[in-house]
């Protein structure tokens, strides 16, 4: 379970892009990354190239269902994940060697601890 750092801002407001996606800069273990918010993803899914750059250690291989079918990924733990002023510690993640871009899917292992409100292309995430 993620640990929430309450010393940072408790709200993030994002505008959707022209495709209706919410993409935002953030940090994993202090390293800059680009997130695509994905409420359909159970965990934070990190492309293998990005995982190597931020120093993630691959754990046990598991099979997961993705939009592109069932693939093998590696369990990992993210020491810190930060989106805007919201930072969490010890967030469950996967290292995915099958992702072709460097965009990290910010899944529910991060977002399940937040209030999520969406209206007219604006997404507001905040600590409860």
- Do residues 5 and 76 make contact, with C-beta atoms less than 8 angstroms apart? no
Average pLDDT of 21-48? 95
CA–CA separation, 52 and 74 (whole Å):
13
Confidence (pTM): 0.89
**Encoded tokens for 33:** 């990354």
CA–CA separation, 62 and 74 (whole Å):
6
The pLDDT of residue 48 is 97
Q: What confidence category does residue 8 fall into, taking pLDDT thresholds of 50, 70 and 90? A: low
């Amino acid at each position: 379970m993620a640990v929430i750092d309450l010393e940072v801002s408790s709200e993030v407001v994002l505008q959707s892009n022209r495709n209706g996606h919410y993409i935002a800069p953030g940090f994993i273990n202090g390293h800059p990354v680009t997130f695509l918010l994905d409420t359909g993803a159970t965990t934070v899914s990190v492309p293998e190239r990005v995982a190597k750059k931020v120093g993630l250690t691959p754990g046990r291989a598991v099979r997961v269902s993705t939009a592109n079918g069932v693939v093998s990924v590696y369990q990992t733990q993210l020491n810190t994940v930060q989106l805007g002023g919201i930072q969490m510690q010890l967030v469950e993640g996967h290292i995915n060697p099958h992702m072709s871009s460097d965009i990290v899917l910010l899944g529910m292992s991060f977002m399940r601890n937040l209030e999520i409100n969406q209206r007219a292309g604006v997404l507001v995430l905040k600590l409860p």
